[in-house]
Amino acid sequence: MNFLVTDNERAQLLANGRARATAPDLDPLPVVRLFTPDAHATWLLAALDPRDGDTAWGLCDVGIGMPELGTVKLSDLAAIVGPRQRTVLRDLYFRATRPLSEYVRLAQRDGSIPD
């Protein structure tokens, strides 16, 4: 599971998770973009639940044209293997350029998370 997020990303995700606990309307910048290279699924994660350190919150797109805001367990993502036996990867070059709500708006309009 450590390969999905760096220590710095985990720290930021946890900080955002703690902030969301007191401010549920928080609209942070996404911290990490995860994707399946062979199954068209993408997760744009912005926070991590500090209670379990595994439940991430963000924009989830499983590749069927219906991206939505929700939660996913990092341990579940680490266990995914696509049709060509490829695992979930971290986008090494992702840098958020807008708050999560804007990614949600664009993804729902276009049917997929924008690059």
How much is the mean pLDDT over the chain? Answer: 94
pLDDT score at 82? 84
pLDDT above 80 for 61: yes
CA distances from 73 to 45, 106, 108 (A): 11, 24, 22
Dihedral angle of Cα 27, 60, 95, 52, to the nearest 10 degrees: 70
- What's the first-to-final CA gap in the chain, in angstroms? 24
Q: How many CA atoms lie within 13 A of 35 on its CB side?
A: 14
Model confidence at 107: pLDDT above 90? yes
Q: 107: helix, coil or strand?
A: helix
User: How would residue 97 be classed by pLDDT, with cut points 50, 70 and 90?
Assistant: very high
